[in-house]
């Protein structure tokens, strides 16, 4: 009887060992081994748990020798579910720039008036868009999600911020007067920039005022909550980039 119990216990321990979830460090090691990159050459590495097609996965990102690597690795058994080969394409395509990933991140953070310690997870990726090499930078601060596109010479091509978790308002909610909404929106625009298009909208269960403006080759888009007057999104984009 004791032998049977001992055998059962061994089987349970073996099963647990075989089917235990992959740890974060193990997922990172799997990604490094697959990429052929040594741990010593990695400038930074970030990994987080996520869901993909109903399965728990690790999103593993790291940067080495001018290349951004992105992996999705199954939590259950360490299988590599996806690999972003775009970074390899960029490297083979000759993305040569004096602007490093860290430099691009600092440009975005300085523009936002924030430090790296203040913001949530930073995503930075080298990309090619319409023949232009650039860095795409994303991070969160408070209720806002920030996105930047920065050229290889350090110019901010576009940036936007969008508020998350906006509450809905009923159709009978009292909205701000147009003149007050224009005043609030104008306060977010640079001095001297005039609104060229203005409208009120009701979408996804809430009222909003939206405005566009254009000045010195830059297009501006501003949206506020039509009930509270709070900023919900803001965008600047260089028109000459296209």
Mean pLDDT of 170-183: 89
Q: Contact at 8 Å (CB) between 109 and 129?
A: no
Verify that 88 and 28 share a domain, yes or no: yes
Q: How far does the chain reach from its first CA to its final CA, in angstroms?
A: 78
Give SS3 for 36: coil
- Quick one: how far is CA 25 from the chain centroid? 22
Q: Taking all residues of the chain, what is their mean pLDDT, rounded to a whole number?
A: 83
The more confidently predicted of residues 126 and 178 is: 178
Q: What is the dihedral of CA 166, 172, 177, 183, to 10 degrees?
A: 0
Tell me, yes or no, whether 160 lies in a domain: yes
Verify that 69 and 122 share a domain, yes or no: no
CATH number for 105:
3.10.450.40
Query: DSSP label at 96?
Result: -
Mean pLDDT of 37-63: 83
pLDDT of 23 above 70: yes
- Cα 72 from Cα 50, distance rounded (Å): 9
Verify that 227 and 175 share a domain, yes or no: yes
Half-sphere exposure of 6 (CA within 13 A, CB side): 3
β-bridge partners, 211: 198, 222
Verify that 158 and 179 share a domain, yes or no: no
Verify that 239 and 183 share a domain, yes or no: yes
| Domain of 82, in residue numbers | 18-92
Lowest mean pLDDT among 58-67, 98-107, 124-133, 216-225: 124-133
pLDDT of 9 above 90: no
Tell me, yes or no, whether 3 lies in a domain: no
Among 228, 227, 224, which residue's Cα sits nearest to residue 175? 227
Mean pLDDT of 202-231: 92
pLDDT of 21 above 70: yes
Tell me, yes or no, whether 10 lies in a domain: no
State if pTM tops 0.75: no
Tell me, yes or no, whether 9 lies in a domain: no
The more confidently predicted of residues 228 and 241 is: 228
Q: Contact at 8 Å (CB) between 58 and 72?
A: yes
Half-sphere exposure of 226 (CA within 13 A, CB side): 23
Task: For residue 220, count CB atoms less than 10 angstroms from its CB and return exposed for 0-12, middle for 13-18, buried for 19 or more.
Answer: buried
Percent of the residues in the chain that have a pLDDT greater than 90, as a whole number: 46
The residues near 105 (Cβ < 8 Å, ≥ 6 apart) are: 116, 122, 124, 137
Verify that 149 and 175 share a domain, yes or no: no
Q: Contact at 8 Å (CB) between 138 and 146?
A: yes
pLDDT band (50, 70, 90) for residue 84: confident
Q: Contact at 8 Å (CB) between 36 and 74?
A: no
Tell me, yes or no, whether 1 lies in a domain: no
């Amino acid at each position: 009887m004791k032998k049977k119990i001992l055998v059962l216990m061994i089987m349970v321990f073996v099963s647990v060992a075989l089917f235990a979830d992959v740890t974060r460090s193990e997922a990172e090691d799997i990604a490094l081994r697959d990429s052929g990159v040594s741990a010593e050459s990695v400038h930074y590495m970030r990994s987080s748990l996520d869901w993909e097609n109903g399965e728990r996965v690790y999103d593993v990102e790291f940067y080495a020798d001018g290349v951004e690597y992105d992996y999705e690795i199954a939590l259950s058994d360490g299988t590599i579910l996806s690999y972003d080969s775009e970074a390899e394409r960029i490297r083979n395509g000759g993305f040569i720039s004096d602007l490093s990933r860290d430099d691009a991140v600092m440009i975005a953070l300085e523009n936002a008036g924030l430090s790296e310690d203040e913001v949530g997870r930073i995503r930075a990726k080298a990309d090619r868009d319409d023949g232009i090499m650039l860095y795409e930078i994303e991070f969160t601060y408070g209720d806002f999600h920030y996105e930047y596109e920065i050229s290889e010479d350090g110019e901010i091509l576009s940036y936007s911020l969008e508020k998350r978790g906006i509450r809905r308002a009923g159709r009978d909610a009292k909205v701000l007067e147009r003149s007050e909404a224009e005043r609030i929106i104008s306060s977010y625009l640079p001095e001297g920039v005039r609104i060229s298009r203005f409208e009120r909208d009701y979408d996804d269960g809430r009222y909003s005022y939206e405005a566009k403006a254009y000045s010195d080759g830059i297009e501006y888009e501003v949206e506020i909550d039509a009930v509270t007057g709070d900023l919900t999104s803001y965008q600047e984009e260089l028109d000459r980039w296209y």
